[in-house]
A and B are shown apart, each in its own frame.
Chain A
Amino acid sequence: AQKVTQAQTEISVVEKEDVTLDCVYETRDTTYYLFWYKQPPSGELVFLIRRNSFDEQNEISGRYSWNFQKSTSSFNFTITASQVVDSAVYFCALSELTGNQFYFGTGTSLTVIP
């Protein structure tokens, strides 16, 4: 079974629109960590954020914000006022305290149209 599900394969928005990327995870651990990465066309994955399972506070960093809800096992990512430079593939990932692996979702390809 998929531990991390990103149901949105591709999203297109017009510049300046807000967009939310969904991430649903599955784990039995009480301590775990969630991540978001950005993969621009160059290919290198860029780390965006890390949250642990005990911290459900929403986080905002500039135009980026993250909504972590344990009740729904979701860790959604919102980009406000999207820009062309936001066009990339975005990956959500899970790391469990009891394991040694990252579990990546299949990614959401975001295209921001000027």
Chain B
Amino acid sequence: DGGITQSPKYLFRKEGQNVTLSCEQNLNHDAMYWYRQDPGQGLRLIYYSQIVNDFQKGDIAEGYSVSREKKESFPLTVTSAQKNPTAFYLCASSPGTSGYEQYFGPGTRLTVT
């Protein structure tokens, strides 16, 4: 089945630790995205990538880092510099960036204590 996988579904970390969230897609999409969602709020863009080895900051990139070494993979690292990392993280992909619908993974709920 084609789709987007994110693992794990739930993640717990101690404050001060970096943590990497996985996102893999087998849809052969060029573009991939990371969003953050806080309770009762909409989605905020963290980073996006239009093509392998290229990525751009979104609205709330501070405290996060990404890589895009393979077309199908776009991991997100939440660093210790991120002040409020506890949130629901959603990964998405699309065939391109302008005008295409985005397809979403099931999300990872990160809790940092």
Residues of A within 8 A of B (CB): 31-33, 35, 37, 42-47, 50, 52, 91, 95-102, 104-107
Q: How far is the CA of A76 from the CA of B102 in the complex (A)?
A: 20
B105 within 8 Å of A (CB atoms): yes
- CB-based A-B contact count at 8 angstroms: 57
Looking across the interface, which residue of chain B has its beta carbon closest to that of A42?
A: B106
Residues of B within 8 A of A (CB): 33, 41-43, 45, 48, 50, 56, 58, 88, 90, 92, 97-107, 109
In the complex, 24 of the A-B residue pairs with CB atoms within 8 angstroms, ordered by the A residue number, are A35-B101, A37-B104, A42-B106, A43-B90, A43-B107, A44-B104, A46-B104, A47-B103, A50-B101, A52-B99, A91-B43, A95-B98, A95-B99, A96-B98, A100-B48, A100-B50, A100-B97, A101-B45, A101-B48, A101-B97, A102-B43, A105-B42, A106-B42, A107-B41
